[in-house]
């Protein structure tokens, strides 16, 4: 007889017993036993990869491989080769045949993270895999059949992207068979104390510290903060506090100023007015001192762009996905600009 209560029990490596998370646990267990495609929806840092792993481990394919691909971290050509493989001579530096991630996931599960960043060309090939369970390696004409379950994840509204023409509507419907929404941490604040206790114990042990409690003031700040970076951000700040602590209690002064309300983080995408204001302030600070240069306009514009990137990176704690969203640019474009301006230390 099925134990209904056990369906709501926390999944491996997942912390939280709020009603919202109990619903996620139950839904995850239910969809795991099917063979249908799953689409994980939620903000960055909400635990989408952990849910994907749990679906695989609870599925009949648990003995097969679990293959993860971060679609947002690779250019179009590299992603196509990574997913589908290539044959020798398909492109420059293709000195030998290479097996793609779909082939590697045969008999198991493939997890496509940041599916919203996939180019239209690769979207067409993904649609074929979903429909026909087959594809060709880059540069090859031989069709390869594959048997693997697809789990995709996104922090964007794919239907909105489809309406804008940047994401195929037919691919969206193929992916959205079993959607699982992961709530943001601000939507399940009751889980904050449990998460704090878990990370406190972990990092106290890792750093050989004896920290037994959290002050009531610190906990009040932690529960009130909006957590734009979700659980990942909370984890980072608890580790930071443990390293800085010199006593047995985690106190409020160990938390970053913006968590304590001293410097609130601005969320969401910068609008035109904000961009114009920030740029105007930067230009006014630098135009006079650079006006004597041979190409003052280009010099000032480059400086302004670099400073703008730097400010937004810092306001987003170095998270490139959030920075790109706020600036309204592609993540690959942001990555190139970070390299061009030498801002790698500001981006994690």
Is 313 among the domain residues?
yes
The domain in which residue 123 lies consists of 4-183
Tell me, yes or no, whether 142 and 34 share the same domain. Answer: yes
Tell me, yes or no, whether 167 and 129 share the same domain. Answer: yes
Tell me, yes or no, whether 60 and 158 share the same domain. Answer: yes
Distance CA 346, CA 45 (A): 19
Domain count, the chain: 3
Tell me, yes or no, whether 30 and 152 share the same domain. Answer: yes
Last residue of a domain, which of 200, 223, 254?
Answer: 254
CATH number of the domain that 212 lies in? 1.10.8.60
What angle (nearest 5°) sits at the alpha carbon of residue 72, between those of residues 68 and 74? 85
Per-residue pLDDT reduced to its tens digit, 205-261: 999 988 889 999 999 999 999 998 999 999 999 999 999 998 899 999 999 988 987
Long-range contacts from 322-327, C-beta under 8 angstroms, 24+ separation: 322/44, 322/228, 322/229, 323/347, 325/269, 326/268, 326/269, 326/270, 327/269, 327/270
What SS3 class is residue 177? coil
The pLDDT of residue 152: 97
| pTM (predicted TM-score) | 0.72
Is 263 among the domain residues?
no
Percent composition of the chain: helix, strand, coil (DSSP 3-state, to 5): 50, 10, 35
Distance CA 136, CA 125 (A): 9
| Residues 137-154 as b or e (16 or more Cβ within 10 Å = b) | bbebeeebebebbbbbbb
Tell me, yes or no, whether 82 and 129 share the same domain. Answer: yes
Q: Closest by alpha carbon to 303, among 326, 280, 320, 286?
A: 286
Tell me, yes or no, whether 168 and 84 share the same domain. Answer: yes
Is 259 among the domain residues?
no
Is 48 among the domain residues?
yes
pLDDT tens for the chain, 348 residues long, are 344 457 778 888 899 999 999 999 999 999 999 999 999 999 999 999 999 999 999 999 999 999 999 998 888 878 988 899 877 765 666 657 788 899 999 999 999 999 999 999 999 999 999 999 998 888 888 899 999 999 999 999 999 999 999 999 999 999 999 999 999 999 999 999 999 999 999 999 999 988 889 999 999 999 999 998 999 999 999 999 999 998 899 999 999 988 987 744 454 555 555 555 656 655 665 555 555 555 656 666 777 788 788 878 877 778 888 888 788 787 778 888 888 888 877 665
| Residues 29-49 as b or e (16 or more Cβ within 10 Å = b) | bebbeeeebbbbbbbbbbbbb
């Amino acid at each position: 007889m099925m134990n209904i209560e056990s369906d709501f029990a926390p999944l491996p490596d997942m912390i939280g017993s709020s009603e919202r998370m109990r619903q996620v646990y139950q839904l995850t267990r239910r969809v795991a036993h099917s063979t249908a495609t799953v689409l994980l929806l939620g903000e960055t840092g909400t635990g989408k990869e952990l849910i994907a792993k749990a679906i695989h481990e609870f599925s009949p394919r648990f003995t097969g491989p679990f293959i993860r691909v971060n679609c947002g971290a690779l250019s179009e050509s590299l992603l196509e080769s990574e997913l589908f493989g290539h044959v020798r001579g398909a492109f420059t530096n293709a000195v030998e045949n290479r097996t793609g991630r779909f082939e590697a996931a045969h008999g198991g599960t493939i997890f496509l993270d940041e599916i919203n960043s996939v180019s239209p060309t690769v979207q067409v090939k993904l649609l074929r895999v979903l429909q026909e369970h087959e594809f060709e390696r880059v540069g090859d004409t031989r069709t390869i059949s594959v048997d693997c379950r697809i789990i995709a994840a996104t922090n964007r509204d794919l239907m909105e992207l489809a309406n804008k023409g940047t994401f195929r509507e037919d691919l969206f419907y193929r992916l959205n068979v079993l959607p699982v929404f992961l709530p943001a941490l601000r939507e399940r604040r009751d889980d904050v104390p449990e998460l704090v206790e878990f990370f406190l114990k972990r990092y106290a042990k890792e750093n050989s510290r004896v920290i037994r409690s959290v002050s009531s003031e610190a906990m009040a700040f932690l529960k009130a903060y909006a957590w734009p970076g979700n659980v990942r951000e909370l984890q980072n700040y608890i580790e930071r506090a443990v390293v800085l602590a010199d006593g047995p209690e985690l106190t409020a002064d160990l938390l970053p100023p913006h968590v304590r309300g001293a410097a609130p983080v601005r969320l969401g995408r910068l609008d035109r007015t904000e961009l114009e204001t920030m740029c105007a302030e930067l230009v006014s600070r630098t135009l006079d001192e650079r006006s004597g240069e041979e190409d003052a306009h280009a010099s000032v514009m480059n400086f302004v762009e670099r400073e703008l990137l730097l400010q937004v990176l810092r306001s987003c704690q170095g998270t490139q996905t959030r920075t790109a969203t706020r600036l309204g640019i592609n993540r690959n474009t942001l990555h190139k600009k970070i390299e061009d301006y030498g801002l790698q230390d500001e981006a994690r």
